Amino acid sequence: MFELSWQAPYDWPWMWGFLQARAVAGIERFEAGRYTRSFEYHGHRGVITMASDESRQVLRVTLSEGLLPVADSCLARISRLLDLNCAPQAINDTLGTLASARPGLRLPGSMDAFEQGVRAILGQLVSVSMAAKLTGKVAIAFGEPLPDFPGFYLFPRPEQLINADPQQLKALGMPLRRAESLIYLASAALSGELPITAPDDIEQGMKTLQSFPGIGRWTANYFALRGWQASDVFLPDDYLIKQRFPGMTPTQIRRYAERWHPWRSYALLHIWYTEGWAP
């Protein structure tokens, strides 16, 4: 077992709830206070189990035998997924009263940027639960089962989705154009056009994403938030954000949000998840 430390405050019920609402059948499970998911890194595969120990301020992590040779890489991905390296006091000082309702809010990242890209595309114009169900169908149809872990599959790799039949993807319950977007994303991941780690210029990176078929501004921004865990992204034309800023244009909202630089991603989460917040 491994242990990863984190700084308080940390709102674990919120984080686990966020991830559980988006859990993909065949990839992730929540049971008895533990989060378990399949994972593959450079040919090493297995399952990871995580549980938070709030009294000691550590995350307990168990890796199955197949992942032990790449333990350091797995732990780094877990830290990114759960934002364990966050320094909450510095962020909360910048956000001020905005952070007072949920001072332990963290920015959920991802274990794999390509996986997060697939999830972001499949989440377009559908509910969170429908997106998780559809992603599960794709995972089971194109991912490989883990023989030693019944019911678990590996999330499809780009080389598995690049050769997918668009009609087969469509049959799982998505528009044909969305199926074609997934295949293009797989091609971009293999060619390097899709950065797997955050580029130096996040804004330019998001513009590049918007040149991909089927990826608009909202999806590119959401991918930057979670796939790259970019800390300074704001979505002024998001539906809920526009509701929170009545009477203001996206340009005015963007200008207002500049007060939270360089932590606008955290500000965005606080606004999303604080009922009744108003500027």
> How far apart (Å, rounded) are the C-alpha atoms in residues 143 and 51?
26
> How far apart (Å, rounded) are the C-alpha atoms in residues 234 and 230?
10
Give catalytic status of residue 232 as yes or no: no
- How do 28-31 and 2-5 pair as beta strands? unpaired
> How far apart (Å, rounded) are the C-alpha atoms in residues 236 and 205?
18
> How far apart (Å, rounded) are the C-alpha atoms in residues 187 and 159?
8
Catalytic residue, candidates 11, 83, 201, 238: 238
Give the distance from CA 227 to its chain's centroid.
5
Domains, in order of start, for the chain: 2-88 (3.30.310.20), 113-226 (1.10.340.30), 239-273 (1.10.1670.10)
Position 82 pLDDT exceeds 90: yes
**pTM for this predicted structure:** 0.94
At residue 32's C-alpha, the angle toward residues 27 and 33, to 5°, is 80
Residue 252, token pair as written in the block: 């005015």
Residues 67, 235: contact at Cβ < 8 Å?
no
Section 116-137 average pLDDT: 95
Position 32 pLDDT exceeds 90: no
> How far apart (Å, rounded) are the C-alpha atoms in residues 6 and 162?
38
> How far apart (Å, rounded) are the C-alpha atoms in residues 112 and 274?
28
> How far apart (Å, rounded) are the C-alpha atoms in residues 265 and 223?
12
> How far apart (Å, rounded) are the C-alpha atoms in residues 237 and 251?
9
State pLDDT tens for residues 218-251.
Answer: 999 999 999 999 999 999 989 999 999 999 999 9
Section 63-74 average pLDDT: 98
**Per-residue pLDDT, 50:** 98
Section 106-129 average pLDDT: 95
Position 146 pLDDT exceeds 90: yes
